[in-house]
Amino acid sequence: LPERDRAELKRRKLLLEVTLKSYWIRKGSAFSTAVARPETELTPEMIATGSWRRLPFKPYNFSSLGLPPACGHLHPLLKVRSELRQIFLEMG
């Protein structure tokens, strides 16, 4: 369409311009249909047979924080101490 006609159709909201993007996806050199999970633990059997040399291992993440403890309680003496402190604070 000429620019003038296109502008007129857009002004009357009879034309909607859409941009389409497309991608070409091809198989790479490391393409595989099987999912290989890396090993996470080194066992004594792996060391004895020497199979650990050809297995892929999951890398360690030394910057992760880890899981917090699931449970835990205050020591009974710490509970008494905090209660006494609260009583004295209320008394002034």
| pLDDT tens-digit readout, 27-68 | 998 888 888 889 999 999 999 999 999 999 999 888 988 888
Six-digit token string for 55: 């297995």
Using the predicted structure, report yes or no on whether residue 74 has a pLDDT greater than 90: no
Model pTM score: 0.38
Could you give the CA distance from residue 84 to residue 34 in angstroms, rounded to a whole number?
A: 64
Could you give the CA distance from residue 78 to residue 86 in angstroms, rounded to a whole number?
A: 12
Strand partners, 64: none
